[in-house]
Amino acid sequence: MNILVTGGAGFIGSHVVRRFVKKYPDYKIVNFDKLTYAGNIHNLQDIENESNYHFVKGDICNIEDVRNAFHNFHITHVIHLAAESHVDRSIDGPMQFAMTNVIGTLNLLEVARSEWQDGKDHVFHHVSTDEVYGSLGEDGLFQETTAYDPRSPYSASKASSDHFVNAYFHTYGLPVKMSNCSNNYGSHHFPEKLIPLMILNILNNKELPVYGKGENIRDWLWVEDHASAIDTIFHNGRIGESYNVGGLNEWKNIELVHFLCELMDQKLNRPEGTSKQLIRFVKDRAGHDLRYAIDAQKLEAELNWKPSITFEEGLSKTVDWYLENQEWVKNVTSGEYQEYYEKMYGK
């Protein structure tokens, strides 16, 4: 297999690339990434010299970039993760989300459709989110059959890309697979998202901005478990099917922030209760979805996938990684990030 992994320099993509490069030495893994603010080639420093790994700096919005990569590496499979991924940025500038997430995905689908006419085995695995299902009330879980009801510009753009992926399956018979995952956490997570932002602010004694009353609920999965789910679905999932990915791990934001504060107090040898004093309730996000929660029964029953670690273990590993990788933090938080941070949260 010659696999084009788009967005491989990002948070989840880098874990997927690392897993595939190490586990499948016979596959050629081509990381295709534009290196936006969220992409960081150093995320893959540990495997960059492996002979089955290749990097291409390219833009999925430029169809010639995509076509060239398909030709140059004889691409037979795609795992598509490249996207604009942050809800707050989508509220501020939805157009870039439509360009990257919708048009970029269409470009990939078009090239795959025209290149894969040889009757051989191909797979186009589209990586999506549970946010396409909208917002849950207090009960219930998102299932693969739940109607799409996206509410943020980010989720609207992902929902649109999902619809195009399904359209290419039904209309052109493109061999697609799709996964819709809950919120991820782990190493190499860009610190605009809740968990890494809170870890770094606690470390630096900065305020912890909790939107609204902190009552919104997210369902958290360790990023390496998401990568293992993608591996499983990519290899064994049925063509034309979607699989929800999640670990039944719902947390109210404020409870999660409290838990992180306690963990950080222990790790930093600070007196109990120190970090909690940094919590500030700030203006809520516009259209803030109340609750996400995934039913991953189909994936578990059909493909025998399960998350490998508990949230407590995963969060402890994650905190350790940020504490041990301050150089990485310095690298990604210099430049544009400061401007973004000050605009969102003040100085």
Residues labelled catalytic: 130-131, 154
Residue 104 contacts which entry, ligand TYD, ligand NAD, none (Cβ below 5-8 A, type-dependent): ligand NAD
- Chain positions 87 to 116 lying near ligand TYD, rule: CB under 6 A, are 87
Of 33 and 289, the one with the shorter C-beta distance to ligand TYD is 289
Within 8 A by CB and 6+ apart from 304, the residues are: 232
- Interacting span for ligand TYD (CB under 6 A) from 32-40, 61-69, 203-211, 332-340: 203-211
- Chain positions 56 to 115 lying near ligand NAD, rule: CB under 6 A, are 59-61, 81-83, 85, 100, 104
Among 3, 4, 61, 194, binds ligand TYD (CB under 6 A): 194
Among 24, 73, 211, 341, binds ligand TYD (CB under 6 A): 211
CA R_g for the chain: 20
CB 228 within 8 A of CB 20: no
Strand ranges (E), 15-100: 28-33, 53-57, 77-80
The whole-angstrom separation of Cα 240 and Cα 169 is 6
Q: Scanning the structure block, which residue is given the tokens 């490998």?
A: 308
Residue 186 contacts which entry, ligand TYD, ligand NAD, none (Cβ below 5-8 A, type-dependent): none
Nearest alpha-carbon partner for 81 in 190, 8, 171? 8
Among 15, 193, 226, 291, binds ligand TYD (CB under 6 A): 193
Query: Nearest approach, Cβ of 101 to ligand NAD (angstroms)?
Result: 7
Under the binding rule (CB under 6 A), the answer on residue 315 touching ligand TYD is: no
Query: Nearest approach, Cβ of 201 to ligand TYD (angstroms)?
Result: 9
Among 3, 30, 38, 111, binds ligand NAD (CB under 6 A): 38
Of 36 and 76, the one with the shorter C-beta distance to ligand NAD is 36
Query: Nearest approach, Cβ of 93 to ligand TYD (angstroms)?
Result: 15
CB 63 within 8 A of CB 14: no
Under the binding rule (CB under 6 A), the answer on residue 210 touching ligand TYD is: yes
The two beta strands, 242-245 and 176-181, are: parallel
DSSP 148: P
Residue 107 contacts which entry, ligand NAD, ligand TYD, none (Cβ below 5-8 A, type-dependent): none
Of 81 and 293, the one with the shorter C-beta distance to ligand NAD is 81
Answer left, alpha or beta for residue 304, where phi above 0 means left and psi between -120 and 50 means alpha.
left
- Chain positions 170 to 229 lying near ligand NAD, rule: CB under 6 A, are 181, 183-184, 190
DSSP 291: B
Q: Is the dihedral of CA 17, 82, 124, 222 positive or negative?
A: positive
**Alpha-carbon torsion, ordered 262, 263, 268, 269, to 10 deg:** 60
Which two structure tokens, joined as six digits, stand for 151?
A: 């509410």
Give residue 231's Cα distance to chain centre.
Answer: 15
Residue 11 contacts which entry, ligand TYD, ligand NAD, none (Cβ below 5-8 A, type-dependent): ligand NAD
Listing from the earlier edge strand, what are the strands of the sheet with 28-33? 53-57, 28-33, 2-6, 77-80, 123-129, 176-181, 242-245
- Chain positions 263 to 292 lying near ligand NAD, rule: CB under 6 A, are none
- Chain positions 127 to 166 lying near ligand NAD, rule: CB under 6 A, are 127, 129, 158
Binding site for ligand TYD (CB under 6 A): 87, 183, 193-194, 197, 209-211, 216, 218, 253, 285
Binding site for ligand NAD (CB under 6 A): 6-7, 9-13, 33-36, 38-39, 59-61, 81-83, 85, 100, 104, 127, 129, 158, 181, 183-184, 190
